């Protein structure tokens, strides 16, 4: 029943946007239809036009299998494998399969909810190991600047100090001697990526891991994205540099099954060289009156469904299935890379290890008002962002990545089997988008605003000041949603100091979750 209209001068609190629980329950088909409708505004997760976030094997039966396997285990609680022994059985199978590809004799691991959780756990294990074995009380985490943000999150959550080592500005790979030089007696863990998310290039794993080994320090390989792709690429006969636990000095490794394992979201594995190291990941607590707690992972109660669907997809695809899918992705890269390199105004960054490509856009626009003193042919942030918007209007999602510490802004593409048939179309639209971007007004960021921002203390901003800033950036206003063109917003963000950027992003995302 709609409420009677109130008098204008009455102060009425804003009603919450999300609707309250219905007084009487709605029928299932209505709700499922509503859920399907809500997807309409999302980027498509299947069909090969979304080049980030989703991993489409192009095999509908894999999706059906994952959903059915999840359903069969949805009500099982992975919290207690003594009550649900199936969970231990499935986890041993999944971790065993991963260990057989990426592990070494004696290695042990855990199934987790994703790359971030695998990384949190590896950092926690390293921190506690360093404390117990080496007496390190103020632990440091040594990481190349291209290491995934999840390591910074782990350091933040777990109280480690980060030591960030710049990468080579041409290859975007970690420089082994510099990473080794950053190791101190306080280093709990050294990180390398195989490959890095941002540029898709592989760090010199063997050199860094052996340098860590010589200092008696642990070394984690972040193979979240490459770990279930590169081994099968090698099996398909392509060159791949070793990066697993069999490499001397590698002591832990993370690999996401919800990426190139093609499982649904919520599936990853963290491996350790031995049980002694994995022990430091576990949390046990008997000092309360409830059931005795042993949590290998961050979560307590967890659905058996995620494990079951990952298990089913792994065993359905098998070695041959994954090899065929890796081959398809490699063929997509074979077509894409020369096409990109031949596109006027496009520059591929580094030598991609296989499935991830980052490119920047350079322009004749460099001599225009936006960047009067830039060299023609140098990366142009405004063009990069315009191209992303132009591509989005043509039905493609490419992921914008902002500039960082001298590394150029760029667009990131995650190749999956479903994208393989799309490369020709993509290249045509990209060439058009670059031309269209160059013809657009350059993206201009108000220098006065940037100067003002540089003088602000991000932590001391009031909610009103933050809201004002967001509104100015084009992100403000109740219910205004996202602008259709993101270039002006992202260009402003790019120009702001990191802490202010973080504060604004957090407030912005908070504004999306209104209740």
Ligand X SMILES: *Cc1c(COP(=O)(O)O)cnc(C)c1O
| The one segment of 76-84, 111-119, 121-129, 363-371 that binds ligand X by CB under 6 A | 111-119
Rounded distance between C-alpha atoms, residue 315 and residue 66, angstroms: 11
Q: How far is CA 401 from CA 23, 38, 404, 413, 468, in A?
A: 45, 27, 9, 11, 25
| The one segment of 7-15, 22-30, 112-120, 465-473 that binds ligand X by CB under 6 A | 112-120
Residue nearer to ligand X on the CB measure, 144 or 379: 144
Q: How far is the CB of 345 from ligand X (least distance, A)?
A: 27
Q: Which residue is nearest to ligand X (CB)?
A: 115
Containing H/E element for 413?
strand 410-414
How buried is 69 (Cβ within 10 angstroms: 0-12 exposed, 13-18 middle, 19+ buried)?
buried
Task: Look at the alpha carbons of 444, 449, 455, 456 in this order and tell me if their dihedral is positive or negative.
Answer: negative
Q: What token pair was written down for 258?
A: 């919800």
Residue 264 found at the interface with ligand X (CB under 6 A): no
Rounded distance between C-alpha atoms, residue 227 and residue 7, angstroms: 63
Residue 250 found at the interface with ligand X (CB under 6 A): no
Q: Which of 51, 197, 229, 260 binds ligand X (CB under 6 A)?
A: 197
Residue 256 found at the interface with ligand X (CB under 6 A): yes
Q: How far is the CB of 194 from ligand X (least distance, A)?
A: 8
Q: How far is the CB of 17 from ligand X (least distance, A)?
A: 28
| The one segment of 20-28, 38-46, 108-116, 469-477 that binds ligand X by CB under 6 A | 108-116
DSSP classification of residue 164? E
Q: How far is the CB of 18 from ligand X (least distance, A)?
A: 26
| The one segment of 72-80, 110-118, 203-211, 301-309 that binds ligand X by CB under 6 A | 110-118
Parallel/antiparallel/unpaired status of strands 283-285 and 293-295? antiparallel
User: What is the phi/psi pair of residue 113, to 5°?
Assistant: -85, -5
Listed residue (189, 196, 199) closest to 243, CA to CA = 196
Q: How far is the CB of 224 from ligand X (least distance, A)?
A: 4
Residue 114 found at the interface with ligand X (CB under 6 A): yes
Residue 115 found at the interface with ligand X (CB under 6 A): yes
Residue the block writes with tokens 């890095």: 196
Site string for ligand X, 126-155 (x = CB under 6 A): ----------------------x-x-----
Q: How many residues bind ligand X (CB under 6 A)?
A: 11
Rounded distance between C-alpha atoms, residue 221 and residue 205, angstroms: 8
Q: How far is the CB of 148 from ligand X (least distance, A)?
A: 3
Residue nearer to ligand X on the CB measure, 80 or 351: 351
Residue 200 found at the interface with ligand X (CB under 6 A): no
Site for ligand X in 222-241 (CB under 6 A): 222, 224-225
Q: How far is the CB of 201 from ligand X (least distance, A)?
A: 11
**Count H helices, E strands: the chain?**
16, 13
- Burial call 136-155: b when 16+ CB within 10 Å, e when fewer: beebbbbbbbbbbebbbebb
377: left (phi over 0), alpha (psi -120 to 50) or beta: left
| The one segment of 15-23, 114-122, 305-313, 483-491 that binds ligand X by CB under 6 A | 114-122
Q: How far is the CB of 265 from ligand X (least distance, A)?
A: 8
237: left (phi over 0), alpha (psi -120 to 50) or beta: left
Residue nearer to ligand X on the CB measure, 326 or 383: 326
Q: How far is the CB of 341 from ligand X (least distance, A)?
A: 24
Contact residues for ligand X (CB under 6 A)? 114-116, 148, 150, 193, 197, 222, 224-225, 256
């Amino acid at each position: 029943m709609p409420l009677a209209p109130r008098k204008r001068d009455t102060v009425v609190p804003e009603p919450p946007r999300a609707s309250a629980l219905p007084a009487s329950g709605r029928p299932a088909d209505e709700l499922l239809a509503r859920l399907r409708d809500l997807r309409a505004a999302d980027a498509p997760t299947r069909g090969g036009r979304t080049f980030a976030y989703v991993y489409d094997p192009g095999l509908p039966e894999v999706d059906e299998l994952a959903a059915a396997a999840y359903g069969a285990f949805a009500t099982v609680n992975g919290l207690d494998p003594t009550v649900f022994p199936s969970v231990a059985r499935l986890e041993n199978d999944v971790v065993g399969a991963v260990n057989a590809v990426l592990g070494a004799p004696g290695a042990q691991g855990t199934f987790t909810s994703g790359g971030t959780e695998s990384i949190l756990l590896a950092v926690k294990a390293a921190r506690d190991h360093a404390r117990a074995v080496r007496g390190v009380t103020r632990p440091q985490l040594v990481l190349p600047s291209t290491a995934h943000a999840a390591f910074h999150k782990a350091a933040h959550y777990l109280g480690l100090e980060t030591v960030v080592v710049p990468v080579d500005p041409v290859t975007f790979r970690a420089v082994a001697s510099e990473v080794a030089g950053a190791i101190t007696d306080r280093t709990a863990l050294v990180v390398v990526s195989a490959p890095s998310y941002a540029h898709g290039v592989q760090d010199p794993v063997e050199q860094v891991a052996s340098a860590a080994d010589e200092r008696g320090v642990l070394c984690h390989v972040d193979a979240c994205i490459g770990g279930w792709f590169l081994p099968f690429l090698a099996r398909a006969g392509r060159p791949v540099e070793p990066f697993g636990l069999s490499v001397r000095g590698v002591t832990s490794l993370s690999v996401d099954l919800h990426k190139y394992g093609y499982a649904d979201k919520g599936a990853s594995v963290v491996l350790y060289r031995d049980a002694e190291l994995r022990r430091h990941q576990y949390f046990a607590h008997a000092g309360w009156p409830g059931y005795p707690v042993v949590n290998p992972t961050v979560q307590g109660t967890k659905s058996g469904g995620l494990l079951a669907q990952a298990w089913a997809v792994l065993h359905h695809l098998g070695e041959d299935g994954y090899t065929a899918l890796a081959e398809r992705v490699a063929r997509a890269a074979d077509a894409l890379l020369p096409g990109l390199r031949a596109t006027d105004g496009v520059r591929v960054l580094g030598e991609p290890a296989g499935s991830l490509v980052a490119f920047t856009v350079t322009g004749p626009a460099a001599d225009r008002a936006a960047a009067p003193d830039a060299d023609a042919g140098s990366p142009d942030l405004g063009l990069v962002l315009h191209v992303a918007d132009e591509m989005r209007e043509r039905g493609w999602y490419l992921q914008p990545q902002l500039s960082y510490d001298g590394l150029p802004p760029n667009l990131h593409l995650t190749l999956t089997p479903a994208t393989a048939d799309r490369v020709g179309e993509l290249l045509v639209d990209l060439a058009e988008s670059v031309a269209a971007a160059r013809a657009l007004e350059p993206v201009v960021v108000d220098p006065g605003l940037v100067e003002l921002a540089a003088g602000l203390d991000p932590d001391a901003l009031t909610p009103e000041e933050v809201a004002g800033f967001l509104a100015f950036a084009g992100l403000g206003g109740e219910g205004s949603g996202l602008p259709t063109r993101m270039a002006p917003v992202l260009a402003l963000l790019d120009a702001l100091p990191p802490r202010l950027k973080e504060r604004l992003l957090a407030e912005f995302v908070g504004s999306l979750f209104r209740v």
